[in-house]
Structure 1
Amino acid sequence: MKTATRLFSSLFLLLSLCVIAACGGSNSGGASSDPNAPKTIVLWHNWQGAYLDAKKAIFDEYHKQHPNVTIKLVQQADLVNKATTAVKQKNGPDMIAWADDALGQLAASRVVIPMDQYISADFLKSTYSAPAAQAVTYNGKVYGVPETVEAVTMMYNKKLLKENDVPKTTDGLLNFAKEYQAKHPGQFGVVWNTTDAYFDAPWFYGFGGYYVKEDGTVGLTSEGSLKATEYLASFRQYMPKQISYDVASSLFTEGKSAIIINGPWSYSDYKKVGIDVGFAKLPTIGATNTPAKPFVGVKSLWVTSNAKDPALCADIMKFYTNTENQVKMSKQSSEIPANSAAAQDTSVKENPAINGYVAQIENGIPLPNTPYMSALWKPVQDAMTAVWSGKQSPADAMKAAQKAAESGVQNIKG
């Protein structure tokens, strides 16, 4: 009887495998038996303008080399939510391009699939910068490839400040803010969006604190986070009382601030108004000599569970992010390539902004891709707004933020 049962089970398993092989499957990775059969890969993205033109040229080149493969680029607003709905209804794209902070959410809901079978961890490490490689890895699985990276760094007006006088430490930056304001009433030594969690991350992580870990542990009341908050609060008397991204950027544009902490997207605006911009790494932290650690946002490509041919998608992604294509793209769009060799290419580093940000990114950490990060943005912003306005002390503000963030994490965990 046991022998008959095992025989029946074996036949059933064999039949099941045959059915699966015949029907295919979104995660099988099996391409068409005919390698020359026409194939269409649909990629959803939110690229625009010169960025889109530079990227489209690479995909067009892939089609030229593989005439049977058509890559259809579809621009989507609210991409993450729309992709989640579409993929679950089995009519979504094969690939999506988006920032790494959405990876955990998409992976947990099985909208995107692991690609370890086609893209190894060793390949990531040898091809892309460390933060970029980490950003496309979630729960020990490789989910895709990084394309470009960005972070904030110090940009200074060379007309107002010499390179040798740019502060190198956190104490030096605070003293510079104090002294510059005293010498130039109505102006500021340094400005940035002090109430935004993204812009404040370099200090939190540099001082040894953190926002949230991959398992959902919140660290806003950790010793390092409290030290960072106290340090940020010390700038209140040397910066505008009503600070925001736009206020900080306007002050730098108008020559009313010698330094701004901002990202690569802002460089062209400052260049247009004639500012001779210099770049410098964020300062090291006090006596520890630990560098400030900005978030490195990583724009990435992932494969969805809807993909008919994951192996082909992997080949396209590797082609798209190889050194030659990333050099071409960077020179056209001025984006910072995640490909390490491309980022160090002489022709790419001729762009002073890219050169400056590449140096900063070496000290950065990946923008957390855990789904729990979504529970941190508002509590940190609320806390820093309360600190900046003087309504709460750093300790009280972080205590309230910790409670709010933990509640948000629990809601995500369900």
Structure 2
Amino acid sequence: MGLKKRLFTAAAIICAAAAVAAVGLSGKSISKEQEETFFSRGKDTLYFWYTDEALTDYLGSAAVTYGESHDVRVIPVLVSGLEYLEEINKASLQSENPPDLYIISNDSLEKAFLAGLASQIDEESWGEIRGEYPDAARLAVTYKNKTIGYPFYFETSSLLYNRTYLEEFAKSQIEAEQDAAEGEAAMAWLEENGPEEESGEVPAEAGGQTEASVPEEAGNGEADEELQELVRERVKEILPATIDDILNFANEYNAPEQVEAVFKWDVTDIFYNYFFAGNYMIVGGAAGDNTANMNIYNKDAIQCLRVYQNLNQFFSIDTKEISYEKVLNDFIEGKIVYTVATTDAVEKLEKAKKEGRFAYDYGIAPVPDINGELLTRSLSVTNCVVINGYSEKNRQAEEFARFLTCEYTDTLYPRTGKVAARYGVDYGNPNLQEFLNEYEISVPMPKMVETSNFWVELEIAFAQIWDGADANERLRRLSEQIMTQVTGEPYTETAIEETKETEEEIEYLDEEELRREAQEGTDGEENESEP
């Protein structure tokens, strides 16, 4: 009520926005008498449905801004997400004020289109702006070679890392390498020239210490900057390109006392796990709309899932104890070096920094491949704006949809926390651009009605494989279940015979064991350096 009170006490144009917000929050259509109270007469009215309350202020502002320069008034209406399409269909057939357009995730587009609730957008208009969107966005709104929505905002997963830890590790490596190089140079000089009888010191050019060679002690600004540049470059090299790189890092990393895990993520949520096998599971082809293009059960996917399962031996993540919220909180507390996160992490980390709860720098990077041969791809979901096929104001609705998703996205993130599914938005934070880079090559969620339960079943399969179920057998059963739904008749997969090399499990030392070995190695080096 506080929001409504503030809006109603503002100027006339803000009063109109309050009316919009009030209608949205009530979930009811506004009466004609109310419309005429808050808006000028004679304008066409578009009813715009959505389900996420975080969008309310933003959509209200967009509606008012659009109405100032167009002979149309837009009324956003916040409704329940339960049986959303069913309610849209019911309102389209029975209500005096049905939705002319609405926001929906791309995986529901086939259902919407077949029900007559989604119209193909004007291809000429779309052609003018389609280059402003990544492939994942364009494929997300494509159904049977038709564009049936405007991409609005997206969600995907990327690698989140503690940059402070990596910089400290990089600096220690560089300093150790410099010390080793100076020691080798000094030994070589001594072998060639013999010891200095008078001073006993080795010349700087032969590896001896000078103020310039120890920038952190000398306070030389130029030398410090040179070291920082070396650290930045080394961090880029350290960032893992593969899961193998993470394992190698864990083997070398002498973790601070507060670090509990080098790599920890929510193994119970398919959104943070799909990338392991996402490059090799084909569900409906590139646009996710072709039941003839299915390939869930294959050798590459099995190999990826075997690696996934073997990671449990190393990281020992308990499915009964883990959650995304807990993982992110542990990351904020400095207990984790690497994790897998969605775009909401950026806002939460920035808030924690301002509140003094997060004392580190962080970064976003692409999810790592399995190894040099097995590649990975994240899953993505795109929320889009769709024109109701039952709308009598199709042209006006499409014009507003284009305005909202293409011309009014600069304030989308700061006002809603949603990342626009298009290029050219300046977020003032490079980490959000990294998410967009990941989204660009991600796998859009399929649209097919026959596979609507695939993600639930796949999540169950991943959890069972993590806990020890045979990856080959479990993936085969999943494929048979989904293919039976797709074909409408019992489907049997031909079992894939794996070679011994494929079946052989990789033996990983426990992460705690590796940390202990790294610590012992460090202690040994310190003892050797003592006189």
CA distance in 1, matches of 2:89, 2:248: 49
* Equivalent of residue 279 in structure 1, options 355, 364, 376: 364
Instruction: Go from structure 1 to structure 2 and tell me whether the alpha carbon gap of 1:340 and 1:80 turns closer, same or farther (over 3 Å shift).
Output: same
Answering whether residue 59 of structure 2 is matched by residue 55 of structure 1, we say yes
Matched letter for residue 195 of structure 1: T
- Give matches, 1:91-130, under 5 Å: 92-116=98-122, 119-120=125-126, 122-130=127-135
TM-score, normalization by structure 1: 0.79
Change (3 A) 1:127 1:37: farther
8 Å CA contact 2:346–2:432 kept in 1: the answer is no
2:24 aligns with: none
**Structure 2: distance between partners of 1:140 and 1:211:** 17
- CA separation of 1:117 and 1:245: change in aligned 2, threshold 3 A: same
Gaps of at least 5 residues in structure 2 are 1-40, 168-234, 490-531
In the alignment, is the contact (CA less than 8 A) between 1:375 and 1:408 conserved in 2?
A: no
Residue 138, structure 1, aligned to residue 136, structure 2: no
Q: 1:223 aligned to 2:299? A: yes
Cα distance change of structure 1 residues 136 and 364 upon mapping to structure 2, 3 Å threshold: same
2:332 to 253, 260, 264: 253
Q: Deviations over 1:295-349 (max 9, x none)?
A: 22211100112211111111111111234x212333444432223223xxxxx24
User: Compared with structure 1, are the counterparts of its residues 246 and 404 closer, same or farther at alpha carbon in structure 2 (3 Å cutoff)?
Assistant: farther
- Which stretch shows the higher mean deviation, 330-339 or 272-281? 330-339
CA contact (8 A) 1:191 1:257 kept: yes
Measured at CA, do residues 175 and 107 of structure 1 come closer, stay the same or move farther in structure 2, by a change above 3 Å?
farther
Look up the SS of the partner of 1:293 in the other structure.
coil
CA RMSD of aligned residues (A): 2.8
- Residue ranges of structure 1 left out of the alignment (5+ in a row): 1-35, 343-347
134, 139, 151: which is aligned to 2:156? 151
The answer as to 2:465 corresponding to 1:387 is yes
Q: Deviations over 1:124-164 (max 9, x none)?
A: 52232221122111111111211112211011122333334
Shift of 1:53: 1.9
1:152 is paired with a residue whose SS is strand
Change (3 A) 1:189 1:73: same
TM-score after normalising by structure 2: 0.63
Provide the residue aligned with 1:322 in structure 2. 406
* Local SS of the residue matching 1:97: strand
Question: Are residues 1:295 and 2:379 paired?
Answer: yes
1:350 aligns with 2:428: yes
Deviations 1:42-85 (A, max 9, x none): 01002323x4322322221110112x411111111122332233
2:209 is aligned to none
Contact 2:304 2:374 in 1 (8 A): no
Worse overlay, 101-110 or 86-95: 86-95
- How many Å apart are 1:224 and its aligned residue? 2.6
Whole-Å separation in 2 of the counterparts to 1:377 and 1:383: 10
Structure 2 SS opposite 1:302? strand
| One-letter amino acid matched to 1:326 | T
Is 1:74 matched up with 2:80? no
Compute the displacement of 1:266 (Å). Answer: 2.4
What does residue 6 of structure 1 align with? none
Q: What does residue 370 of structure 1 align with?
A: 448
- Which residue pairs with 2:43 in the alignment? 38
